[in-house]
Structure 1
């Protein structure tokens, strides 16, 4: 296994692939570099002398600026460099792209649910969601009425732990409780009443009224996107009646996304129905009948061009941009070459690579839209005393991502190298095959929530530290950047790219193997860990400052 890697020939730092000792000599090309400091795996050190004010280069781009003179072999830290990026402007030149060899996948299919509008779902879910937080309680009542009776409830094995503790403290006292042995075994049994319905999903939130009108409009756009997502067979919408997020606004947004929308949809307003009993009786009856209709759908073969894959990262580390994210990038390029759709989100984590992405935009209008969204987002953050440079979390920094530009340059690798066909604002629905950019926060759940609302029927989620995140309607496949994480947290990790770090596997090999897993997940043959664990995270972005 190699000790270090230079990601791009222009870089003036190396990345440690394993822990390196102070005083150790590293041979790199024609240089012998003696380390001034101990360098932990995932962290970086200088190849040459860098004077104060000079730029730090990684991935061939500016990711920081030296705060002091740095000798060759010096660790780069938050104390000796700060965030810095290149500026960006209009699209420059034309972009050429060599598509990967996709002969292995050209005639492949997955078994999905075909919708009347031509979309194909990787799942078949019924959705229950309120237009306003006032209806959350009613949604919960419906939830408890349905889940166990229809076989969708996930058993809570920790109830048995509490039972054991009750018995132990009664018989032996509290001192014996910590000696109890308990294993949390995931239940993968299936006792569904509706065999062809993968689940009934209940989404609650704190929006719909009391905020800005823009927040209400954004929420309606998001809900419309969820209803239109091919993984959703139909839905039940509960409205109070007097809130900002009006039914008419939802219907308008739904018509804008899909004028031919024809899925079964139940919409009820409590202030029209009268008593809660009347509302809930009608909601439960109509929902049950809608699910019976959804149960008539069956999986059928579909070309891989019907996949729409969201590209996400969270809990990233210094290896994410070397292994896991480039693996997703290769998958994105494969899907683009096959005529499928991919969506790269998290605009705060594209800070510093804007010009590269602008140059990849197929249309001038898309380049201008991306630049405008980035500048507006950054401006709002700066106005409240924040900024994209404050995006890296303590965990990111500890594991080698010490500036937002370093994090962003690695995060952008999820988008591969194909042309960018469209740029979407939060709540806009994907239309064009190929790579799309979607304006979301870097916040994991706000971003995955947005990806599903824009039409993703699979989400790939890379992590170097471990993130227990999922989505209610779109399967989330967790991809680890290192094998240590995959071994430590096998309950949340689905796919390991750590062999890229050790040199045992190429990015292309890893990407093709991940494609095979995607096909199995899309066909319902394999359930990602997030689905097994019931990680149904849903947080709409209120368009405020969220990094």
Structure 2
């Protein structure tokens, strides 16, 4: 039996690397477990009195709601969410963070260089609905095109993606809500992984198609039509198919060529997290993120509710006071947003997260921020805002994976890395998703969904460095066209979910 893991000398808990039956005494303290406890869960290494803070990763993850004896299982029955320290030391670790940027030999991948200098990892035709009323026609058109076999004659085209959603009308014609939708739609239509895009509207919606056409100006890469002007549902489906047929020869002319790894923007995501997430996949992805930064590229952490309680770790390596102020403003906004809607920041973790060993949002966040590695936080962006800088960056998004990933991709991410412990059937378009399993059991249970197993860091002695190297190689291979598991399954269309903010009218 592997010994329980002590993650920081200051911790009052240790983590079980594997499931233990009732009666086991992993610490040898004469206090056997009263019931079976799954791997990834915590047990107390010292006695903790009711009301005292509980430490993991050297940080407070909650407080004891009753006296806890050394050797007891520590979870939601005896540990609860509590406020965390706001004694922020902004920039205190900046020098250490700068030293954490590794010196890397230049690397390349086989990408698509666009006329505007952007570099893509896929070459997709995008059908973008401006309103829910045009969702069916773009989905039907994409399905009929794929089923027809016409794409077989165009090997450099990676498919037709239908970006449908449930908004675009019944909303204010100005303000943050429509601005977000505007950024998401425009970000996908002009994404470096998109060779051409067609906007499709109804005609009378709030998100008028003219808004996008005015942005597009001239050129053939972006076009648009409406159902009302085209003659109805079936006529519009046929018109979309005809336009795609017209576009295919031109889009197919794109070809891959060597591109510097510095052109990469990699989105960082986690979903279905468990007690192993902060021990295996997230730290490994964090070290891989450092290496992408060392190559001159960009990594994008997000999910603001899932850094809550760990924001001090980011603030300590903020590159400037302006970056820190932006992050703090987001934390304040989310606290007010959840209060206004009758919720709490601790409504996250989910039931599945808790079954996997995560007790409070403070604990979950400490593991989640590990995906961001150790380099300076160089910028903070609004949801779906274009990522213009390099290095380790942060984008404000909800913790809900499809909404979060949609914003990151709209911001320009060409590849997405997604860690999961419980298992997640997630994929994304036009940027492919690489899935990282936190444990052996998941990797064996969902082999068609998982690209990389990080469980062997515990079971097989694979080092953090070796796993980070494996992740970087997978990112470069995926950027060069290697298909991911989620792509092979056809996932991605239904995971396009723009963040809806504001009154539905």
The two structures share one fold, judged by TM-score above 0.5? yes
Alpha carbons 1:121, 1:457 under 8 Å: kept: yes
Moved more, 471-480 or 270-279: 270-279
Gaps of at least 5 residues in structure 1 are 153-191
Alpha carbons 1:37, 1:73 under 8 Å: kept: no
What TM-score, normalized to structure 1?
0.85
Q: How do residues 15-26 of structure 1 correspond to structure 2 at under 5 angstroms?
A: 15-21=15-21, 24-26=24-26
Cα distance in 1 between the residues matched to 2:185 and 2:102: 37
1:99 corresponds to which residue?
100
Q: How do residues 348-427 of structure 1 correspond to structure 2 at under 5 angstroms?
A: 348-427=305-384
Moved more, 490-499 or 67-76: 67-76
Structure 1 position 37, deviation (Å):
3.9
Q: How do residues 459-474 of structure 1 correspond to structure 2 at under 5 angstroms?
A: 459-474=416-431
Q: How many residues align?
A: 495
Deviations 1:295-314 (A, max 9, x none): 11000001111111110011
| Match 2:160 to one of 185, 196, 200 | 200
1:235 corresponds to which residue?
197
Structure 1 position 530, deviation (Å):
0.5
Distance change in 2, residues 1:333/1:263 (3 Å): farther
DSSP 3-state at the match of 2:153: coil
Q: How do residues 456-495 of structure 1 correspond to structure 2 at under 5 angstroms?
A: 456-495=413-452
1:2 corresponds to which residue?
2
Structure 1 position 88, deviation (Å):
2.8
Cα distance in 1 between the residues matched to 2:218 and 2:374: 34
Structure 1 position 503, deviation (Å):
5.3
Deviations 1:311-349 (A, max 9, x none): 001111110110011111011100111110111111111
Cα distance in 2 between the residues matched to 1:126 and 1:101: 37
Structure 1 position 452, deviation (Å):
1.1
Structure 1 position 102, deviation (Å):
4.8
| Match 2:75 to one of 74, 77, 82 | 77
Alpha carbons 1:11, 1:60 under 8 Å: kept: yes
Distance change in 2, residues 1:224/1:33 (3 Å): farther
Cα distance in 1 between the residues matched to 2:432 and 2:85: 37
Cα distance in 2 between the residues matched to 1:339 and 1:108: 10
| Match 1:533 to one of 489, 496, 501 | 489
Deviations 1:68-119 (A, max 9, x none): 111211111212110124233665244122235454xx23211010112222
Alpha carbons 2:440, 2:455 under 8 Å: kept: yes
Structure 1 position 406, deviation (Å):
1.1
Structure 1 position 544, deviation (Å):
6.7
2:84 corresponds to which residue?
86
Structure 1 position 207, deviation (Å):
0.7
| Match 1:65 to one of 63, 66, 70 | 63
Alpha carbons 2:60, 2:362 under 8 Å: kept: yes
| Match 1:311 to one of 268, 271, 284 | 268
Alpha carbons 1:130, 1:237 under 8 Å: kept: yes
DSSP 3-state at the match of 1:5: coil
Moved more, 135-144 or 409-418: 135-144
Cα distance in 2 between the residues matched to 1:55 and 1:33: 24
| Match 1:225 to one of 187, 202, 208 | 187
Distance change in 2, residues 1:458/1:361 (3 Å): same
Moved more, 308-317 or 384-393: 384-393
| Match 1:431 to one of 358, 364, 388 | 388
Cα distance in 1 between the residues matched to 2:307 and 2:219: 37
1:542 corresponds to which residue?
500
Distance change in 2, residues 1:501/1:202 (3 Å): same
What TM-score, normalized to structure 2?
0.92
Structure 1 position 277, deviation (Å):
6.2
Cα distance in 1 between the residues matched to 2:220 and 2:317: 36
DSSP 3-state at the match of 2:54: strand
Q: How do residues 497-508 of structure 1 correspond to structure 2 at under 5 angstroms?
A: 497-502=454-459, 504-508=461-465
Distance change in 2, residues 1:237/1:60 (3 Å): same
Structure 1 position 14, deviation (Å):
0.2
2:404 corresponds to which residue?
447
| Match 2:170 to one of 207, 210, 218 | 210
Cα distance in 1 between the residues matched to 2:479 and 2:499: 27
Structure 1 position 539, deviation (Å):
1.3
1:114 corresponds to which residue?
113
Distance change in 2, residues 1:342/1:261 (3 Å): farther
Distance change in 2, residues 1:33/1:12 (3 Å): farther
Q: How do residues 20-35 of structure 1 correspond to structure 2 at under 5 angstroms?
A: 20-21=20-21, 24-26=24-26, 34-35=31-32
Distance change in 2, residues 1:501/1:85 (3 Å): farther
Cα distance in 2 between the residues matched to 1:205 and 1:142: 15
Structure 1 position 527, deviation (Å):
0.9
Cα distance in 2 between the residues matched to 1:382 and 1:33: 44
Alpha carbons 2:90, 2:321 under 8 Å: kept: no
Moved more, 513-522 or 260-269: 260-269
RMSD: 2.3
Cα distance in 2 between the residues matched to 1:263 and 1:55: 61
Alpha carbons 2:284, 2:464 under 8 Å: kept: yes
Deviations 1:136-183 (A, max 9, x none): 23213422441122455xxxxxxxxxxxxxxxxxxxxxxxxxxxxxxx
2:147 corresponds to which residue?
148
Distance change in 2, residues 1:398/1:19 (3 Å): same
Alpha carbons 1:341, 1:432 under 8 Å: kept: yes
